[in-house]
A = this chain, B = another copy of it.
Amino acid sequence: MRGFCGKYLLVDLESGSMEERSVGEDVFRKYVGGAGLGAYLMLKEFDPLVDPLSPGAPLMFLDGPLTGTNFPGSGRSSVVALSPLTGLWGECNVGGAFGAAMKLAGLDGVVLTGKAERPVYLWIDGGKAELRDASHLWGLDTYATNERLEEELRGDGGLVRTMQIGPAGEKGVRFANIVNEMGSVAGRCGLGAVMGSKNLKAIAVRGGGKMGYAHPERAREVRKAITQKLENHLLAQTLHEMGTNGALDTGMLSGDIPIRNWSVGEWMEALDTLNSFYYNDHILVKTVGCYACTVRCKRVVRVEEGPYSMEEHAGPEYETVCMMGTNLLNPSLEAVAKANDLCNRLGMDTIAMGSVIALLMEAQERGLLSPSETGLDFSWGNMETALEAIRLTAAREGFGDRMSRGSRALAGELGAPELAVTVRGLDFPAHDPRGFHGYGLGYAVGARGACHLNTTNLLVEGGMASWPEIGLKGPYKGMTSKGKAELTWKCLSVGQLFNSLCMCEFIGAFLSLNDQVEMMRAATGFDWTLEELMECGWRIWYLKRHILNLRGSGRNDDVLPPKALTPTREGTNAGSVPDMELMLGEFYRLAGLDEEGRVPPEKLDIDP
C-alpha cells in the first residue's frame, strides 16, 4: 500500500454480490482520490442520469491518498452520490475515523448499488465483507445504531468504525445525513436518503492493516515538521481552544452571520450567549479529534437540566450555532445544542433543517401560513417549535412531510420562492456573500450548490489562509467583487484537492500548499508538483460541472437567491451586495465555460 490500495469494494445490494474492483495508478495520478475519484467513477462506471433514489444510483464511500496516514488533518473521507435534495451532483466530506478504518482494511472505498430486499448493514472486517440483516437496527437513531453495532461486532478485535443513517434517512427525508460514531456527519445533499433508499442502515468497518507510505522516512520528517508548525500556529491553537464556533464573534463583526433568515446584518447581543466563551463555560465537557489529528477541534457537550437537557455527546459546530441560533433569532446555545443533538440522532443536516425552520418563521410572520396549518407556532426564536419541527420532519409526520422536502421545494409550494436561500437547491452555509462577495461566486459555481467546502474562498477571503505559492497572499477586502473571480478560480482547485486528498480544510488553511505536496509525495511516491496538483483540482471540478451540465444545470443555475442580493441595513455589510455579473463573467473566461455555462469538450479530461 502506498497512499492508495488500488481497489474498491463494489457491492450490489439487490443480489448481495460483492467484488473487488481495481483502480489503476493513472486514475489516482489524474483524479487523486476521494470526491475526485467519485466524479471519475460516476462518469466512467455508472449512469449519471439516473434518479438519485433509484436502485441504479451508486452510493460511494471513498478515501483519499492521505486518509489513514498519520498526517494531521487526514482523517477524513468522501461520500459521493447523486443528491435527492438538489437532483444534481452530491458529495460530502466527513471526519472521524471511518475512512482510516476503510483504508486499513485494504480498500480505497466501498461503492454500493441496488436496493436490498430488507434492511441490511455491511460489515467489513479486515479482508472479509458481508451483508447482515439490520431489521433489529431499523428505526434506531444513529447513536443507538452505533452502540448496538459496536456491541455486536467488537468481539476480541480492534475498534469498529461505523457510518449509519437515522430514521430520517430510512424515511427518505431529502436532507437526511450519514453519521459516524463520534457524531461527525456527512451532512449535506441528502445522501442519508440515498442510503435509506437502498435499505442500507449502516456500514461497519474494522481495519487491522498497517498504513503504507511510498517513502516512510520522508513521511516521518514531513509529519514532524507539520505537527510542529500546527503547534505554533495561532489559529490552530484557537481552533483547538474555541472550536469552529470561535468564528462566531469575528463573523458577526465582519458581516458573515445569517440572522433572521438572512434579513438582518447584525445581532451583537446574541454573542453573549452563543459564542465560544459561553460555550466553553456552560456546555463543554471535553474536546476530541479526528483520526491522527493533533488539533482536536471537535466538542463533546452536555446540557444538564431544563427543557434542552441532553446527554453527553457531539456538540454543535459553528454552522449549526448560526442556522439554529442567529438565523432563527434564538439566543440560547443550550437550545442549539439540543437541536443539533436531535438532528444528529435522527440523521438530518442541521443547515438544511435550520433553513426550513427559518423560512417557516418568516412565512408565518408574513401571513403566508398560520399555526393552524402547520400545527406549530413558528414565531421567531420559538425553539420548542423548532425541536418539534425536527421530530416531525424526521418522521415525515403531518406538516413534517412537507418540511422533509427541503427549503426550496417548501418555499415554492408556499408561493414565496424568495424565502429559500439556496443555490441549486442546496441551502447556504452560515457565511454571507454580502460580507464577502467572493463567497457568492463560490456558491454559484460550487459543484454541489451553495457550499462552504467546494471552494476554499472562505479560508482565503475570510482571512484564515494565505497561499502566496499560488498568488493568494491577501488580505482581501470582503465587500468588493473585483478580483474575486481569479481568487475563486484558484480556490476552487484547492477545494477540489482537499476533498480528494482527503484533507481537512482547517488544517489545509494552516499549512502551506507545498506542505500538501510534500505529504502527497511521501504517501504516494508520485513526483507531483504543486502545478500538477492544481491541474488535478481543476480537472476534477470540470468532471463535476459536466455532471451538472448533463443533468440540465449550467448558467441557468449559477445564480444567487434574492436574499443574498438584497442589502442589509445594519452591521458591517450594510448596503453591500456582490456584483455577480462582473464575477461570473470573469470566472467564465478563466474557466473557459461557454455562455450557457457548459464545460467545453477540450477541458473534459476523461476517457470515453
Contact = CB atoms under 8 A, between A and B. Distances in A.
A177 to B, nearest CB: 30
B277 A474 contact: no
A265 B604 CA distance: 55
Contacts of A241: 473-475
Interface in A461-508: 463-466, 468, 473-475, 477
B237 A473 contact: yes
Contacts of A463: 234, 238
Chain A interface extent, by class? 20 to 34
A466 B465 CA distance: 18
Contacts of A277: 477
A474 B238 contact: yes
Contacts of A235: 234
A249 B573 CA distance: 13
B512 A234 contact: no
Q: Name the residue in A246, A465, A477 with the highest tally of chain B Cβ atoms < 10 Å from its Cβ.
A: A477
A273 interface: no
A297 to B, nearest CB: 13
A242 interface: yes
Contact of A253 (B231, B232, B242, B254): B254
Interface string A509-525: 00010000000000000
Interface in A279-311: none
Contacts of A465: 234
Nearest to A515: B232
Residue in A237, A252, A571 with the greatest tally of chain B CB atoms within 10 Å: A237
Contacts of A253: 249-250, 252-254, 572
B237 A468 contact: yes
13 contacts: A231-B468, A234-B464, A234-B465, A234-B466, A237-B468, A237-B475, A238-B475, A241-B473, A241-B475, A242-B475, A250-B250, A252-B253, A277-B477
Given A241-B475, A249-B253, A253-B254, 18 more contacts: A231-B468, A234-B235, A234-B463, A234-B464, A234-B465, A237-B466, A237-B468, A237-B473, A237-B474, A238-B474, A238-B475, A249-B254, A250-B250, A250-B253, A252-B253, A253-B572, A271-B572, A277-B477
Q: What are the 4 A-B residue pairs with the smallest beta carbon separation, nearest first?
A: A253-B253, A277-B477, A234-B466, A238-B475
